[in-house]
Structure 1
Amino acid sequence: MKNEAYSHLSKETWEAIAVMTDNAAMLQKKDKYKTENGEEEEYNMCQALEELMEERESVGEKRGRREGRNEGTLEKTKIVVRNMLDRGYEIEDICAIAGCEAPFAEEVKKELLLQ
């Protein structure tokens, strides 16, 4: 986003874009991107958008890592439930030991029966 045309926006244009895109962060951080051009105030939309995109990427990466951990934990729990079912444990005991809910254990049981 290196288009210089968007690095010299008026306050009104900045606010209009922020409102039309429903971007509260742009309104809140407006002064961070303010520059002076003679007597006129200007706002650097290019810099603002680059920083906002970097923030969103960071949030997305964190969310992805968290979801990956959750999926890994779920898969480990499935393995434990499967092993316990193979050894003849009752659903109630499996749930107490593995820390899962009965519907989850029942679903794993159905998967085992289909194999």
Structure 2
Amino acid sequence: MTTRDQVHVRSVRDEPASGDGHRVLVDRVWPRGVSKEDAALDDWLKEVGPSTELRQWFGHDPEKFDEFARRYEKELAGNEDWQTLQDLVAEHGRVTLLFGASDKENNQAVVLRDLLTR
């Protein structure tokens, strides 16, 4: 199994699936309208989420996504939760990164997956 097969990305609003493996919320802020029970999390790594400043600058504008990904990767340097996430992937084999944004293509979970699987 390649790392690409190990790391998945889903909305926290999606129904949990048996193939999700270890479910990790990677948002700094708890997603509105989602109960902790419905989220069915194994971990919430708040600090791995992008900073408030970066999130506000990005504003989920697809035109800014590539620059967002570059800035976000820089933010992760030395981040303890980023190391914890890498350890979780190594430990659990299959990890699903959960996000609260409505844009399923341009969000921090996609960036994290790409960093974890490259």
The bucket for the TM-score relative to the shorter chain is under 0.3
TM-score normalized by the length of structure 1:
0.23
TM-score normalized by the length of structure 2:
0.22
Task: Give 1 or 2: higher helix fraction.
Answer: 1
Structure having the higher Rg? 1
Task: Give 1 or 2: higher strand fraction.
Answer: 2
